[in-house]
Each structure stands twice: as C-alpha cells, then as structure tokens.
Amino acid sequence: MRRLNRKKTLNLMKELDAFPKVPESYVETSASGGTVSLIAFTTIAFLTIMEFMVYRDTWMKYEYEVDKDFTSKLRINIDITVAMRCQYVGADVLDLAETMVASADGLTYEPVVFDLSPQQKEWQRMLQLIQSRLQEEHSLQDVIFKSAFKSASTALPPREDNSLQSPDACRIHGHLYVNKVAGNFHITVGKAIPHPRGHAHLAALVSHESYNFSHRIDHLSFGELIPGIINPLDGTEKIASDHNEMFQYFITVVPTKLHTYKISAETHQFSVTERERVINHAAGSHGVSGIFMKYDISSLMVTVTEEHMPFWQFLVRLCGIIGGIFSTTGILHGFGRFVAEVIFCRFRLGSYRSRSVPLPDGHTSNHLPLITDNSTH
C-alpha cells in the first residue's frame, strides 16, 4: 500500500510539472538558433551587470513639510576676510525682533594678508569651478549630500609660505546664534554699539580714504556645520571699485534634515542673489558702505533621505530581464524562421513550375510529358 501511495503521489507530481522535458531526439539545432541564443545570453549578461550597478547605487528622496520649530536658535557659521584692518571694521546681526547679536558673542577678528598664496589660489579656483558646475547641474547636489563627512574639508587651507608682508586685512570667523526670524548680518566701518533705536557703528574716526570692502567669503552656512558640504557663497571674492561701495546678499534659508547612510544631521540650505553699488548721495544712491547679508527663513522644511533599492525588488527586476529577453528573442526567432520559410517556399515552387509542351494541332500543354520506357531510348 505504501508503494502504491508513493506511485500515486509521484504521478500526481509529474502531472503538475510545468516544465516538461523534451527528448533530445526531438530537438533540432540550427545555426540561426545558436546565433540568436548567443545574442540573448550577451544581452542578459550586459543588462544584469547594469542592473547590479543600479542596485548598488543610492538616490536622494526629498520630502517637504511645514517647519513648526520657531523657538530654537539658528546658528550662522562665518569665515569672511575683509581688506581692511581689524580695528576699522565691526560685524553684528540685527533681526526683525530688534534683537542685536554682537560679534563678541562668537566671532574672532584675526589680522591676515588679503592676497592668497599659490596653494590657496588653486583651492579657490577649484572651489569656484565646482560652484559653476553646481549652478548648471543641480543633480550634483545629491552627490555632495551622499559624500558628506567622507570628502575633505572645504575650509581654506593655511598658508604654506611664510609671508613677511604685514597684515592688511581682517579675517572674521566663528559662529553666532540668532533667532529664527529674518535678520541682517553686516560688516561695516567701526565697532557696533547698542542704541535705543537699534544700533550704531563708531565710524567717525575712520577716514573715507581707508574704506575698502573688497572681501572673500571662504565659508558661510546656516545650522550644523557639516564637512564636505559646499554652500552657494563659498569661494566668492569681490573687489571694490570705489571706497564707498555696498555689497548686498539676499539669502533665503531653508531648514533641511539630512539622513544618509553615513550621517544624520540638521542643516540649512540657502539660495542667494547679489547686488553691489557705489554709495553716492548726490546721485540718489543712499546707504552705508559695507557688506550686508539679509537672510530670511523659509516656512518649509526639506527632509533629504538616502534610499536604496530593496533586494527583493532587485530579484524581481532581474527575473523580468532574463524571462523577457528569452521570450522576446524566441518570438523574434520564430517570426524570422516563418518569414524565411515562406520566401524559400516561393523560390522552390518557382523552380518546379510546369513547362509548356507543343501539340501537333498547334495547342500547347502545360503538363509535363509522361516519361515511358520508349521515351528513354
């Protein structure tokens, strides 16, 4: 009884076989079939390699929501060199809430030489080249996000030469914490002092001939400082054509949460527009000479997440590639054989077409003459 049950089970499993085996004596090979098979296997190998490269790669997913955090402080990271002596310039922040943040809260004034060394000039040239490519190809920003903390720091390298030139510029670097409202970070003549109506700068003791707001922005960012991230104003250099010149930067800051396989940080992206003009009250161009960065905080927050293709999706796509190529090449090969057989059959029918035979009464016969024994002699 057990053997009988095993045979029934085995026969049942044979009936459920979806891949019946064809005896080799029934299989006919051909040169055309071998050629198509070779093309199919080559295509499968190529597409499999490409699909594996896609599986290894990652992409950035962007999600947008309303920023509900209004109580926390916003960090501003600053590294700017101005072509004036440190005792002549002052930097501070004044926001819409009439809150003044002095530079003494986190900025350092360092006397330096404004002209860069050869190595520093090469660094600045490469940074400006990257900035121009980022403006043309926005997809490169995804590469920068994924390479954060892995690439080298974007900070200006120290001087490699011992310059004997006396310092003629002031490097203002450090960070400030401000309210998450629109504000104005500016660098102008004289140190800032509190004022009941805002603030003022002690500029009376500085002559106009010493004004020179040529500057270089080595770094400017908002939020957590992330090495490897290139910001829109990094590497910017402006040369003043007049003593009384105003440089304005209008910045829109977007809170950003960055989640990659390497880091998870809260930073801020920003876009900027620039304007510069000479202060001439007689010509109607009013204002104060200096560098003004007016920033505004966007109400939207962007969440940037690095995603990867799941392994099951990779297997499904791979099975679709292999099965689809086999089915497609089989259909094309069968259609090609059908067309070839139709054409060859017509040629064969033409070769066996009947010949005309003349009769004694002047008619013709389209039938082939009957071959007899007498006709062979």
Predicted local distance difference test score (pLDDT) of residue 370: 47
Q: What is the pTM of this model?
A: 0.69
Classify residue 12: in a domain, yes or no: no
Residues 264 and 186 reside in one and the same domain: yes
Residues 107 and 163 reside in one and the same domain: yes
Taking Cα atoms as reference points, which of 237, 299, 296 lies closest to residue 270?
Answer: 296
Classify residue 371: in a domain, yes or no: no
- 86-131: pLDDT as tens digits: 888 888 888 887 777 766 678 899 999 888 888 888 888 888 888 8
Predicted local distance difference test score (pLDDT) of residue 375: 45
Residues 36 and 77 reside in one and the same domain: no
Residues 115 and 143 reside in one and the same domain: yes
Task: Give CB contacts under 8 A, 24+ apart, made by 10-19.
Answer: none
Residues 225 and 326 reside in one and the same domain: no
Residues 160 and 237 reside in one and the same domain: yes
Residues 59 and 159 reside in one and the same domain: no
**Which portions of the chain are predicted below pLDDT 70?**
1-4, 16-29, 102-104, 138-154, 160-163, 194-198, 203-204, 346-377
Classify residue 225: in a domain, yes or no: yes
Residues 249 and 284 reside in one and the same domain: yes
Residues 222 and 151 reside in one and the same domain: yes
The residue segments making up the domain with residue 61 are 31-65+308-330
Predicted local distance difference test score (pLDDT) of residue 20: 67
Classify residue 361: in a domain, yes or no: no
Classify residue 204: in a domain, yes or no: yes
Classify residue 276: in a domain, yes or no: yes
Classify residue 24: in a domain, yes or no: no
Residues 81 and 153 reside in one and the same domain: yes
Predicted local distance difference test score (pLDDT) of residue 223: 87
Residues 45 and 123 reside in one and the same domain: no
Query: Looking at the 3D structure of the chain, how many domains does it have?
Result: 2
Residues 217 and 282 reside in one and the same domain: yes
Taking Cα atoms as reference points, which of 193, 209, 212, 213 lies closest to residue 201?
Answer: 193
